Each structure stands twice: as structure tokens, then as C-alpha cells.
């Protein structure tokens, strides 16, 4: 693999493509472990999303800065070491300064080490690009993960309890006896994730059919 930096990167495209069109969770179907395990409430979902995003950012920065001196033969072990170091540092800081979050996230915090999104961005983008594009890529991917986790956590907590806890601000939106506890259980994660993915792909298919129809009409008109 050629580790030389690639010039002329469209930063706007790099940022926004990872939020919607190639969302790591809803489109690429990556990072499903925290999505299914920690998204039973909004606060936990946002917290693990933020931690994952910080690890991606730190990893991309380090990998981009060191890419020219990382031998191709040991590229993968070096990337794994950088990711593991970033996660360990993040976990130690959270444990020291936000112990409640560390307790709530539990094993899912150190499991960021094996999150394929972190390794994927380092291997596919950061090691091939300059520092600024690598930072923008990390921010875009992090925003995509936060969007996915936040949406999952919000929907599951709302439908499962009838209320939302927004970092200490508690809002009850409908009576508890109308809530469906299934949505805060593991099975609820699969249901909500499937519904969101189904809606996204249905919208994509409708847009594609509309574009195909326009192209067909143009070809008929020209004929």
C-alpha cells in the first residue's frame, strides 16, 4: 500500500458523506455493538458516541502525523496499538473525572478498541491523507455515529418509558402505562434499528426511482 498523502481532498464532501450518505451505523452497518448494547437510554447512547468520536479523532490525528514513518509491513499492528492507547487514555480520564459515566458504560468503553469504525477510518483514510482532512473525516464519522446513537437512544427511551432524561432534565411526554418496555430491552434495539434502516433505504429507493424516471423521460424526449 502507498502511504503517501493524497492532495486536493474536498473537505465538505469528506465531512458530510459520513453523516448521512455513508452513515457508519445506518448505511454501513458498523459499530452495532454499542448501538444494540448501550442505546436503551439517550444519555448512555450519546456518551458512548462521544467517547467513540474522541477516540476516532485522536487516532486519526496520530495516524496521519505518523503515516510517513509507519512501515507498511507492520502497519496493522501499529494502528491497533495507537487505537488501544487512545482508548486506554480515554477510559482512564473518564474513570478519573466522570466515574458515573464509566460505571454506566461498563465494558462497552474498553470495547471501543475493537470498534471497526475506528480502525477502518485510520486504515482507509488517515494513513493516506494529510492532518486537516483526517481531522475533518474523524469529525464527520463522529457526527454520524452520534446521530445514530442519539436517535436510537431517544426513540428507545421514549417508547420504552414514556419519558426522556436529557442529562438531568427530565421530560415525561406520555403516561408510563402507555409505554412499551420491550423497547428498552435488547430485542427493542433490533426492532428500532431495523425500522430506521428500512425507512432510510425506502427513501433512497424512492429517490433512485424518481431519478430513473427523469432519465427515462429525457431519453424518450430526445428520441
Q: What is the pLDDT of residues 143-162, one digit of tens each?
A: 999 999 999 999 999 999 88
The model's confidence at residue 88, banded by pLDDT at 50, 70 and 90, is: very high
Distance CA 95, CA 137 (A): 28
pLDDT tens per residue, range 53-86: 999 999 999 999 999 898 888 999 999 999 999 9
pLDDT value of position 108: 86
Q: Is the CB of residue 192 less than 8 Å from the CB of residue 183? A: yes
pLDDT value of position 138: 94
Q: Spell out where the chain has E strands.
A: 163-166, 169-172
Distance CA 137, CA 128 (A): 12
pLDDT value of position 1: 45
pLDDT value of position 220: 61
Q: Is the CB of residue 138 less than 8 Å from the CB of residue 120? A: no
Which range of 107-116, 117-126, 158-167 scores highest in mean pLDDT? It is 117-126
- Averaged pLDDT for residues 169-196: 87
What's the grid cell of residue 50?
462521544
pLDDT value of position 8: 66
Closest of 154, 158, 135 to residue 146, by C-alpha: 154
**What is the rounded average pLDDT for all residues in the chain?**
86
- Averaged pLDDT for residues 187-212: 88
Distance CA 34, CA 32 (A): 6
pTM for the model stands at 0.84
Q: At what angle do helices 186-222 and 131-161 cross, to 10 degrees?
A: 120
Q: Is the pLDDT assigned to residue 2 strictly greater than 70?
A: no
Amino acid at each position: 500500500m502507498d502511504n503517501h498523502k493524497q492532495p486536493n481532498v474536498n473537505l465538505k464532501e469528506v465531512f458530510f458523506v459520513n453523516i448521512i450518505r455513508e452513515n457508519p451505523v445506518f448505511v454501513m452497518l458498523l459499530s452495532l455493538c454499542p448501538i444494540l448494547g448501550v442505546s436503551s437510554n439517550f444519555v448512555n447512547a450519546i456518551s458512548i458516541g462521544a467517547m467513540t468520536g474522541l477516540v476516532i479523532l485522536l487516532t486519526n490525528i496520530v495516524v496521519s502525523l505518523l503515516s510517513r514513518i509507519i512501515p507498511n509491513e507492520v502497519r496493522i499492528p501499529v494502528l491497533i496499538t495507537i487505537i488501544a492507547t487512545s482508548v486506554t487514555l480515554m477510559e482512564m480520564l473518564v474513570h478519573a473525572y466522570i466515574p458515573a459515566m464509566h460505571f454506566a458504560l461498563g465494558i462497552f468503553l474498553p470495547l471501543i478498541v475493537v470498534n471497526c469504525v475506528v480502525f477502518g477510518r485510520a486504515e482507509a483514510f488517515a494513513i493516506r491523507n494529510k492532518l486537516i482532512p483526517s481531522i475533518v473525516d474523524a469529525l464527520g464519522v463522529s457526527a454520524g455515529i452520534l446521530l445514530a446513537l442519539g436517535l436510537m437512544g431517544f426513540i428507545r427511551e421514549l417508547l420504552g418509558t414514556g419519558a426522556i432524561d436529557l442529562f438531568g432534565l427530565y421530560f415525561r411526554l406520555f403516561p408510563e402505562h402507555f409505554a412499551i418496555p420491550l423497547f428498552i430491552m435488547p430485542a427493542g434495539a433490533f426492532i428500532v434499528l431495523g425500522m430506521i434502516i428500512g425507512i432510510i433505504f425506502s427513501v433512497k429507493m424512492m429517490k433512485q426511482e424518481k431519478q430513473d424516471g427523469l432519465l427515462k423521460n429525457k431519453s424518450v424526449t430526445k428520441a
